[in-house]
Structure 1
Amino acid sequence: MAVSTGTPSPAKPVRRARGEGQWALGHREPLNPNERSKKDDIGLNVRARIETIYAKGGFASIDPADLRGRFRWWGLYTQRKPGIDGGRTAVLEPHELDDEYFMLRVRVDGGQLDLRQLRAIANVSIKYGRDTADLTDRQNVQYHWIRVEDMPAIWEEIEGVGLSTTEACGDTPRVVLGSPVAGISTDEVLDGTPAIREIVDRFIGDPTLANLPRKFKSVVSWLPDVPYEANDISFLGVVHPEHGPGFDLWVGGGLSTNPMLAQRLGAWIPLDEIADVWVGVCKLFRDYGYRRLRSRARLKFLVADWGVEKFRSVLEQEFLGRALLDGPAPELPDRPIDHMGVHEQRDGLFYVGATPVVGRVTGTALAKLADIVEAHGSDRVRLTPHQKLLVLDVPADRVDSLVVALREIGLEANPSPIRRSTMACTGIEYCKLAIVETKAKAAEVVAHIEATGLVAPISVNVNGCPNACARTQIADIGLKGQLVPGPDGEMVEGYQIHLGGGLALAQGQQPGFGRKVRGLKTTALELPAYVERLTREYLAGRKDADEAFAEWVLRADEEVLR
């Protein structure tokens, strides 16, 4: 017979499933430093402090929580202090990496600029940014060397022409990408520009949408001339057999260290409902997105866990209050579209697409561009999501002189394939996250391949760290910056190499992140020679002139790729 001691056995603790920090499930407690900062004060509120305190007191007066957090809600990041090598990127504290200057992004939704806006962008660069200006792959313009003291004057200038830096960064709805030929293309059936404008006018700067789990990237485009599979939400043009032209809805794309491609929800959205569906998805992300771990906070993780069927059901039932219409998949063009060169518009005028080298321009060049555009009878310029630009509305008899004038300021309308298809992120020159240099190295690759006379349709994307701002995983040759062993065993700047990635931008293309060959790396010094060698191997080994680089890579021997 058992004898009781009178002392109950200690109860085993009940293990509760750890939540993901989803507001809709009651997980409101801040779960990481970023969430705590956002709970303390909404990022949008920092503008008043910039204008009334920091612009007067200078860099030393800035509260650290504002400096490395809330400033992003207005497009501002501290830039990297010069002279800090890539080996110390992840070792130094933020205040040790910070320079007393800022990178500033100006959002250009849909990539659309008129001449007043272009001149304002150029003027800010010249007056306040040491003549820096980069065209980004988000259709933004990015400055460097910006002082906090100058921000009130900068805002006055760019907002005076209808541009803004509102939510150009931060855990917010970022710039909305659009086709650079929206409204003028002979291939476009329905112009998505009204929806982009409605989204921006109604929702950008809305405090109820200014605390998302992470960034929220959007696309509205009839044509697949934008990276729609690499965004959180995309609306891509499609013709419904019963209801006519509209847009196909995609969600959950994103690259960085855990790349995922967007998935179709199978829903057809009419143009006048895009903004309502967009904000429904945005609110779903706000309420159900993961906030416990910042590394899992992008929408793509929720979509991957839920699947598209559940995602669409929750969107319809909880955020739209109605069912969406089913719709067909978009039809893709025969070939990818990049708009470089001379093309006729639907109105009989012409547009000219031209490229700088990897998006790098200057305020001086943009000011000259404005003069050139005006002298050729145009008032409109478009930025592309590939670090390039278009001049619209050019009369036929002015096209040739425009092409020549653009070349004189470093914008090439008849670029070599390598210049046409190479992109690079900011890199260690200014970025605190970067490990290696990117812009100058990518320009060196372009110059080297051009000097060889090799002509091959190969895209090269150069990134300074694993975050894939230059869309590393979806390039023919994607280069992720890291330190690698040099000839003498010392660690030097270099790149891990991804091969054969891409998106479905044309018929027959299979989207994917390409091939990783174990241990395939190159030093920065050897990079131009490596790209040349691989280009020659591709040209010699492809089945025919129509075999794409990505197809060749999949069947090539590893030794050929090294």
Structure 2
Amino acid sequence: MPPAPKQRATAPRRNRPKRGEGQWALGYREPLNKNEENKKNDDGLNVRARIIDIYSKRGFDSIDPADLRGRFRWFGLYTQRKPGIDGGKTAVLEPEELDDRYFMLRVRIDGGQLDLAQLRAIAEISRTYARGTADITDRQNVQLHWVRIEDVPAIWERLEAVGLDTTEACGDTPRVVMGCPLAGIDADEVIDASPQIRQIYDEHIGDKAFSNLPRKFKSAISGCSAHCTVHEINDVAFVGVTGPDGAPGFDLFVGGGLSTNPMFAQRLGTFVRPDQVSEVWAAVCSVFRDYGYRRLRHRARIKFLVADWGAERFREVMEKEYLGYALPDGPAPEEPRDGRRDHVGVHRQRDGRFYVGFAPRVGRVSGELLDRIADIAEEHGSDRVRTTVEQKMVVLDVEAERVDSLVAALEAADLQVNPSTFRRQTMACTGIEYCKLAIVETKARASTLIDELERRLPDFPAPVTINVNGCPNSCARIQVADIGLKGQLVTDAEGRQVEGYQVHLGGAVGLDSGFGRKVRGLKTTAQELPDYVERVLRRYLDGREGEETFASWVRRAPDAELA
């Protein structure tokens, strides 16, 4: 159960704040929009029984619209976009006009941790029920498409038989808890956070105490020295540090997030012992539940509350009203060891064996390919595979004498272990192919862009991230990419409206963190995208000073150099 508030005096009615934000802790529980009304009418977790007992038996047309476009998300289900609807109609058509009769289903993979039985189960589900589709997301999940409501109970049975599920994979809930894929094996990690991720999942996921949050709630817990879980942009993040007494623990960040109002998380300055993580996580989540803004959906994320309150007040409320004790002050995390956070390549584990990270094309795989990955891992003595927050995968526990063979087998399947910068650091969201919010295509276009850049700039020497998003919501983290591409309709040279992108340049997390620079009017059509990216990258190589990063160069480059 979550921490209960320790004390909260109810202010006299005349002194209460305006009801406009709908904060429960201030006595305002009446629903202020349709989403809040739906959640009050019935908890999202209750939809599971209706899916099993009614909808899967009676078919798509039997589904209550409030479940279809609301509570289904509590179990990882979104209706996918009906084929043939162009991006110009995304914001014009009603939801029922955009809905296909099929679903995207998101499988939550907390910490990115999979054994081969789990990987093969996902592969089997993909082949049997999802037309072979599968995408690795930038939150370590796997997404399937073309799922029929009639097949969902069978899919759940297959997942649950191997310890996986889709519970709270979407919706106004605590979604997947991200973690380092090398937890427990990386010689450089500060602390193995796997037990804390498991404890949070066991104690809080599926608990109705947290199944009605103001909006989604994204968590990361990691002791990785490379900071691979991008704690800077999560709602709550625990980052491994060495505490005042020399024992490892965690520093606490809250209030990060991107979308149309990007904000970096604020550090609370606390030291959290490993045994405290679950209750501190629950306290942060409870503050959000009770004080979060529920009137306007676009202001309902925890980042807006933290921005209004500040770190000091948030910490005070969390400690006094929910924890009931003060956390000690603690040190800030050390800076990441390098600019890459994806764990691609061959690296030694602390036990002398090796892990091998590889790069599918922008996270797009298939049931057949997932089966092949499982076979390759098993043939080389591994039973553990991981997903990363960069849409990549890692095979663990490979003996030294088997590494070369494993690498060769992966690369024969077009899973590059030694990829180009462009294959390694290009990311793309789902895009218009399946997403009802998207305006443009992303996955295939990003894959084509990789091919073009590898051909035009075969020896490009610097790590540059290229993130492609189909709409303004930044699922692909465009604001913190070196080159962020936000999908929209643009006007081409002939005056026609065509698919294109607004360009964000020089975003970064880590030592040189900042949101990408938007140059006034800087857009490109989809057709001209390879030419534009090649041009700006060549200018960077010509203009950089020494080993200057792309982000640093962008911040001092004149607008004309970026066009």
Same fold flag (TM > 0.5): yes
2:407 aligned residue (400, 403, 408): 403
- Residue 410 of structure 1 and its aligned partner are, at CA, apart by 2.1
Say whether the 8 Å CA contact 2:185–2:351 is kept in structure 1. Answer: yes
2:507 aligned residue (491, 496, 501): 501
Partner of 1:282: 285
Task: Read off the aligned partner of 1:233 and give its amino acid letter.
Answer: V
Structure 2 Cα separation of the partners of residues 176 and 328 of structure 1: 23
Structure 2 Cα separation of the partners of residues 211 and 45 of structure 1: 12
Partner of 2:37: 36
Partner of 2:515: 513
Task: Read off the aligned partner of 1:281 and give its amino acid letter.
Answer: V
2:271 aligned residue (257, 260, 268): 268
Task: Read off the aligned partner of 1:362 and give its amino acid letter.
Answer: S
Partner of 2:320: 317
Identity over aligned pairs, percent: 67
- Residue 15 of structure 1 and its aligned partner are, at CA, apart by 12
Partner of 2:11: none
1:443 aligned residue (444, 447, 451): 447
Report 1:420-439 matches (<5 A). 420-439=424-443
How many residues align structurally? 545
Report 1:90-105 matches (<5 A). 90-105=91-106
Partner of 2:229: 226
What SS does the aligned partner of 2:295 have? coil
Partner of 2:6: none
1:390 aligned residue (391, 394, 419): 394
Structure 1 Cα separation of the partners of residues 337 and 207 of structure 2: 40
Structure 2 Cα separation of the partners of residues 15 and 40 of structure 1: 26
What SS does the aligned partner of 1:122 have? helix
Say whether the 8 Å CA contact 2:346–2:355 is kept in structure 1. Answer: yes
What SS does the aligned partner of 2:101 have? strand
- Note the alpha carbon deviations across 1:48-74, whole angstroms, 9 max, x for none: 000011001111111111000000000
2:490 is equivalent to residue 481 of structure 1: no
2:299 is equivalent to residue 293 of structure 1: no
2:334 aligned residue (318, 327, 331): 331
What SS does the aligned partner of 1:411 have? coil
With over 3 angstroms needed to count, the CA separation of the structure-2 counterparts of 1:317 and 1:110, relative to structure 1, is same
Structure 2 Cα separation of the partners of residues 59 and 493 of structure 1: 32
With over 3 angstroms needed to count, the CA separation of the structure-2 counterparts of 1:374 and 1:94, relative to structure 1, is same
Partner of 1:25: 26
- Residue 515 of structure 1 and its aligned partner are, at CA, apart by 1.2
- Note the alpha carbon deviations across 1:378-425, whole angstroms, 9 max, x for none: 000010000000000000010001011111222110000011000000
- Note the alpha carbon deviations across 1:490-533, whole angstroms, 9 max, x for none: 111000000000111xxxx2211021100100001100111111
What SS does the aligned partner of 1:126 have? helix
Structure 1 Cα separation of the partners of residues 429 and 349 of structure 2: 31
2:258 is equivalent to residue 255 of structure 1: yes
Structure 1 Cα separation of the partners of residues 274 and 232 of structure 2: 20
Partner of 1:357: 361
What SS does the aligned partner of 2:519 have? coil
- Note the alpha carbon deviations across 1:521-547, whole angstroms, 9 max, x for none: 000110011111111111111011x20
Structure 1 Cα separation of the partners of residues 393 and 260 of structure 2: 29
Report 1:124-203 matches (<5 A). 124-203=125-204
Structure 2 Cα separation of the partners of residues 328 and 15 of structure 1: 37
- Residue 188 of structure 1 and its aligned partner are, at CA, apart by 1.1
Structure 2 Cα separation of the partners of residues 241 and 167 of structure 1: 36
Structure 2 Cα separation of the partners of residues 408 and 29 of structure 1: 58
What SS does the aligned partner of 1:559 have? helix
Structure 1: tracts of 5 or more residues without a match: 1-12
What SS does the aligned partner of 2:520 have? coil
- Residue 454 of structure 1 and its aligned partner are, at CA, apart by 4.2
- Residue 97 of structure 1 and its aligned partner are, at CA, apart by 0.2
Partner of 1:525: 527
Structure 1 Cα separation of the partners of residues 410 and 138 of structure 2: 20
- Note the alpha carbon deviations across 1:357-377, whole angstroms, 9 max, x for none: 100000000011111100000
What SS does the aligned partner of 1:488 have? coil
What SS does the aligned partner of 1:326 have? coil
- Note the alpha carbon deviations across 1:464-511, whole angstroms, 9 max, x for none: 00000000100000000000001111111000000000111xxxx221
Structure 2 Cα separation of the partners of residues 18 and 276 of structure 1: 30
Task: Read off the aligned partner of 1:316 and give its amino acid letter.
Answer: E
2:472 aligned residue (466, 485, 492): 466
Task: Read off the aligned partner of 1:105 and give its amino acid letter.
Answer: R
- Residue 332 of structure 1 and its aligned partner are, at CA, apart by 1.6
Structure 1 Cα separation of the partners of residues 367 and 80 of structure 2: 19
Partner of 1:5: none
With over 3 angstroms needed to count, the CA separation of the structure-2 counterparts of 1:96 and 1:17, relative to structure 1, is same
Structure 1 Cα separation of the partners of residues 335 and 519 of structure 2: 30
Partner of 1:380: 384
What SS does the aligned partner of 2:312 have? helix
Structure 2 Cα separation of the partners of residues 215 and 450 of structure 1: 37
Indicate the structure (1 or 2) with the bigger Cα radius of gyration. Answer: 1
With over 3 angstroms needed to count, the CA separation of the structure-2 counterparts of 1:15 and 1:554, relative to structure 1, is same
Structure 1 Cα separation of the partners of residues 53 and 337 of structure 2: 55
With over 3 angstroms needed to count, the CA separation of the structure-2 counterparts of 1:278 and 1:15, relative to structure 1, is closer
Structure 1 Cα separation of the partners of residues 396 and 524 of structure 2: 40
- Residue 26 of structure 1 and its aligned partner are, at CA, apart by 0.5
Say whether the 8 Å CA contact 2:499–2:525 is kept in structure 1. Answer: yes
Structure 2 Cα separation of the partners of residues 15 and 520 of structure 1: 46
